Structure 1
Amino acid sequence: MSLLTLTWISTIVLSIFFICMSLAFRKKASTSFTNFAIAGGTLPFILLLFTDIATIMGVGNFVGHSSKGYEIGLANIPFVIGEQGAKIIFALVFAGFAAKFAYKTLAELMNDLLLRDKIARALVGLLTASIMIAWVGGQAKGMGALFSVFTGTDPTLMIVVFSGVFILYTMIGGMYSVVWTDLIQGSLLIAIAIWIYVKIFAKVNFSYSELKTRLADVGAGHLAEMTLSFGEVFTLFLTGTLGVLAAQVYWQRCFAAKKPKDASRAMFYSGIAAIILTCLATISGLVVKVTNPNLDPGQAISWLILEEMTQFVALGFFILIYLAAISSASSLLHSASVVITNDLIIPNTKARTDDFYIKFTRWCILLVGIVAVGAAVWSESIIDLFSLAYTMAGGGVIPVLIIGLLWKRKKQEAFNMGTQNSGVSVWGGRIGLVSGAAASLAFGILWGVLISSILTIILSLLIPTNRKPDLNEESITQP
């Protein structure tokens, strides 16, 4: 049987299997908006661990970073360490804290504990959703490009097809279907990834010195050197770190955790796995470079698998990328849609039933999927798409979040749901969010973080919010 036939069969069988799994959880997910959004806050460690791994290890981490390795070599590592190492920072600093609360989104947490402002909540929601939309677009773009290489099918058509599968699968079962299928997908993903990398690095006899020698032989010895300046390294690291810290999908898994300790441990171990696997992806791009130095970077790893590996390995690689794409995309579609419902619709409309919010969120999944398809077609590369969203959201949201958490009005009191305890004012939050995002896009994330931090503090001092003693949201006077 040809690889073309096997690829189509695998795609159809896997798609039907995961859609059927999501159908099994449709009824449970539909009992309440909380169940649909965060599985009722009941997820144990094992489900959190594998949903974190499956969500983190998307197409970009395999195809995108291998392409960057082929193109710029070890210069991609600082971004990898920032992007993936941020999960460990998140685990150590934020995961246990977030898991103490029953919020559905980061924007809701910031609104309740820090800002108490519907406009700021909507801004945080839009910025954090942008990361999810970019990631979904990246999964679709990666799958479209890979399927085109494997079968010769038009990549734009396959971006639409795979996005349709992602959307249908996510609309049906909500968080329950996402995490239970991630248990299967995450387990298979790790096993297949290790096997594939063993096959790839066998090409250079598992020797980095041999890899460097062969890079020099093809005139690409510079790719094995860290040629970036300290400023460039730090900017790449910070972009990855702040972007991930602003990612709603990780906060959402913490809110879904049964115990704070489970949330911290799951994110910590998944962060370690992500660093290892993504660094291996970057180095695998160097292996392709020594094998054929004249490729389009976007198709480098696919060429190696198709031209230099057996049909069995090639099929395994396709299944690996498909699992990475569908598990990551479903989580991201779900997270972005929950943000839209929870932070843009619920605070600004009259109260509705849970059934209404669930149906609305399902339609949002379709809308987000369509926008993500547009982003995938528009963007030149997966990593560029991620980096743009990271820069905008990380530069705007994270400075306001960190300043808000550190600047307590009552220093000895812990943060509690329903109680605002931050010195950041309404206008400080609004301007900090907008200025940080805009400055990061215009001048770079370092300037964005600096400008956001300064303006958040200055405006909070100059235009404080008049807060009444009982601190309920209804009792806060907006400026």
Structure 2
Amino acid sequence: MTLAAMTWVISIVLCAVFIIVSIKMREKAGNSFFHFAIAGGTLPFFLVLFTDIATIMGVGNFVGHAAKGYEIGYANIPFVVGEQGAKILFALLFAGFAGRFTYITIAELMNDLLVRDRVSRAIIGILTASIMIAWIGGQGKGLGDLFAVFTGANPVPIIIFFSAVFILYTCIGGIYSVVWTELIQGGMIIAIALFFYYQVFAKVDFSLATLQARLEDVGAGHLAQMNLSLVEVLTLFVTGCFGILAAQVYWQRCFAAKDGRTASRAMFYSGIVAIVFTVLTTLVGLVAKVQNPGLEASQAMPWMIMNQMSAFSTLLLFTLVFVAAISSAASLLHSASVIIVNDLIRPFVPHKADRELVSYARLLVILVGIFSVTAALWADSIIGLFSLAYTMAGGGVIPVLLVGLLWKRQRSQAFAMGMQNSRLSPWGARIGLISGSVCSLTLGILWGVLVSAAVAILLSLFLPGSRTDAAETRQG
């Protein structure tokens, strides 16, 4: 059997397994929107840990960051440290806090605890959904690029076919099918990735000095230099960090965990895995540069797999990237559809029956999936998709969140569900969110963060919320 044929066989078998798992979870997920979205807040540590790992280590981390390593070398590391280190920061500062509650989205949390404003909630929903949608597109694009190399096929129908698979099993089983399939996928990712890194770095004697010397030999020694200004490093770090802190998929895993300690531990350990693996993947791009300096950057990882590995290793590594892509895409697709139902529909039509909300969520899985496939076909690069969404959402949502959490009405009173305890006002939140996002896209995320926080504080001082705003009951 040829490599292309075996690639198709493995892919189809794995897809069948994932769909069977989702069918078994269909009834459980359909019990209520609360169960479809966060499993009723009951997930144990091992499920939260492996779903975090499988979600984090998507195709962007295995293909996109290798491409950036091939293209800009060490200069990609500040973004990696910000993006992946944010998971550890999230674990230490937010995961335990989020795990105390059974909200469904970060927008719902901010609405209930901080601002009590449906418009702000909808804006946060749009911004956080943009990250999820960009990531889904990135998984599809990376998987299509990889399949094109492995099988010689046109990537467009491949992107469409495998997008249909993860759309189907996410639609059927909700978060239950996502976390149980990711238990399998997360274990496979760890095992195969370690095997891959060992094989790649053996080519440069496991030595950064050897890698640098060989880069010099091919005229690419500048890639081993951190030729960035302090502002550039800080911008890359903040873009990755704040983008992750605004990512619904991680907040949702915390809300789904059975308690705060479970959420914090799982995110902390998965964050360590993510930062180590993603830095190593950037270095894989540099090893590819040494081996073949004439590639297109997007082909760095596929070329390494196809041309520097044995046939058995190639199949294993294809399985790694395939599983990483499909697991992340399913998680992100689920989160995006949940955001739209919970923050853009539910607050404005609060009397909808629970079964109707589940139906809306399943329909939106399909619609968002189709939209994301279109984005994947349009985008020039995987990381470009991520960075744009990170910048917009991170620069708007996180400053407003921090202002709201730190600027309490009653300093001695802990945050509790159903009780607002923040001086943040509706207009402060609305304009802070929008101005931060716009400034981040036009002037850079550092300016966006400053503008967002300043506007939120100033407008909250001059346009404080009314008693009606403060007393508004939590929607949903």
1:102 counterpart = 2:102: yes
Counting only pairs closer than 5 Å after superposition, residues 46-65 of structure 1 correspond to structure 2 as: 46-65=46-65
Q: Could you tell me how far apart the structure 2 residues matched to 1:474 and 1:189 are? A: 44
Would you say 1:181 and 2:178 are equivalent positions?
A: no
Amino acid at match of 1:126: I
SS at match of 2:410: coil
Matches within 5 A, 1:30-429: 30-429=30-429
Give the drift of 1:475.
10
How far apart are 1:472 and its partner, in Å? Answer: 3.5
Query: Which residue pairs with 2:438 in the alignment?
Result: 438
Residue 103 of structure 1 aligns to a residue whose secondary structure is: coil
Q: TM-score, structure 1 length as denominator?
A: 0.98
Contact 2:37/2:338, CA 8 A, preserved across alignment: yes
- Give a deviation string over 1:148-190, Cα, whole Å, max 9, x none: 1111111122111121111011101011111111111101110
Cα distance in structure 1, aligned partners of 2:309 and 2:261: 43
Q: Secondary structure at the match of 1:347?
A: coil
Number of residue pairs the alignment of both structures matches: 475
Contact 1:204 1:287 in 2 (8 A): yes
Query: Structure 1 counterpart of 2:327, which letter?
Result: S
- Secondary structure class of the residue paired with 1:417: coil
* Residues 405-443 of structure 1, C-alpha deviations (whole Å, 9 max, x = no match): 000011110111111111111100000000001111111
- 1:229 and 1:463 map into 2 onto residues whose CA distance is 39
d(CA) in 1 for partners of 2:98, 2:79: 25
Does structure 1 retain, via aligned residues, the 8 Å contact 2:147–2:155? yes
| Cα distance, 1:203 vs structure 2 | 1.2
* Inter-partner Cα distance in structure 1 for 2:467 and 2:416: 17
C-alpha change, 1:157 and 1:405, in structure 2 (3 Å) is: same
Residue type of the alignment partner of 2:343? D
Deviation string, structure 1 residues 306-332 (Cα, Å, up to 9, x no partner): 112111111111100111011111110
Task: Give the whole-Å Cα distance in 1 for the aligned partners of 2:303 and 2:186.
Answer: 25
Q: For the Cα contact (< 8 Å) 1:468–1:475, is it kept in 2?
A: no
Deviation at 1:126, TM superposition (A): 0.4
Aligned partner letter, 1:176: Y
Runs of 4+ deviating beyond 4 Å? none
User: 1:468, CA displacement in angstroms?
Assistant: 5.5
- Corresponding residue of 1:6: 6
Q: State the distance in 2 between where 1:160 and 1:475 align.
A: 39
Cα distance in 2, alignment partners of residues 244 and 326 from structure 1:
20
Maintained 8 Å contact 1:104/1:342: yes
1:189-246 CA-to-partner distances (Å, cap 9, x unmatched) read: 1000000111111111212111111100000001111111111001000000000000
8 A contact 1:467–1:475 mirrored in 2: no
Q: For 1:232, what is the secondary structure of its paired residue?
A: helix
8 Å CA contact retained: 1:101, 1:255: yes
- Name which of structure 1's ranges 240-249 and 178-187 shifts more when overlaid on structure 2: 178-187
For structure 1, the 5+ residue unaligned runs are: none
Structure 2: distance between partners of 1:283 and 1:381: 19
1-structure distance, mates of 2:364, 2:21: 21
Q: 1:473 aligned to 2:472? A: yes
CA contact (8 A) 1:112 1:420 kept: yes
Q: Is the 8 A contact 1:148 1:155 kept in 2?
A: yes
CA distance in 2 between partners of 1:297 and 1:283 (Å): 13
Does the residue aligned with 2:346 lie in a helix, a strand or coil?
helix
Calculate the TM-score normalised by the size of structure 2: 0.98
Report the AA paired with residue 138 of structure 2.
Answer: G
Residues 418 and 473 in structure 2, CA contact (< 8 A), matched pair in contact too: no
State the Cα distance separating 1:277 from its structure 2 match: 0.3
Residues 349-375 of structure 1: per-residue CA shift (max 9 Å, x gap): 141221111111000001111111121
Distance in 1, Cα, partners of 2:335 & 2:474:
30
CA distance in 2, matches of 1:110, 1:475: 10
Aligned 8 A contact 1:59 1:143 in 2: yes
Q: Is the Cα contact below 8 Å between 1:418 and 1:472 reproduced in 2?
A: no
**Aligned partner of 2:122: which letter?**
A
Could you tell me which residue of structure 2 aligns to residue 464 of structure 1? 464
CA distance in 2, matches of 1:417, 1:446: 32
Task: Classify 1:107/1:475 alpha carbon distance in 2 versus 1 (closer, same or farther; 3 Å).
Answer: closer
Shift of 1:280: 0.5
Quote the Cα distance in structure 2 between the aligned partners of 1:337 and 1:288: 38
SS in structure 2 opposite 1:80?
A: helix
Instruction: Write the distance in 2 (CA, Å) between the matches of 1:360 and 1:475.
Output: 21
Q: 2 CA distance for matches of 1:295 and 1:95? A: 41
Cα distance in 1 for partners of 2:373, 2:177 equals: 23
Query: What amino acid does structure 2 have at the position aligned with 1:300?
Result: A
Residue type of the alignment partner of 1:116: R
**Separation in 2 of the partners of 1:384 and 1:475?**
37
The verdict on how the C-alpha distance between 1:430 and 1:474 changes in structure 2, with shifts beyond 3 A counting, is same
Look up the equivalent residue of 1:54 and give its one-letter code.
Answer: A
1:25 correspondence with 2:25: yes
Match of 1:203, SS state, is helix
SS of structure 1 residue aligned to 2:257: coil
Q: CA deviation at 1:474?
A: 4.6
Identity within the alignment, %: 63
Q: How far has the Cα of 1:467 moved from its partner?
A: 2.1
Is the Cα contact below 8 Å between 2:104 and 2:255 reproduced in 1? yes
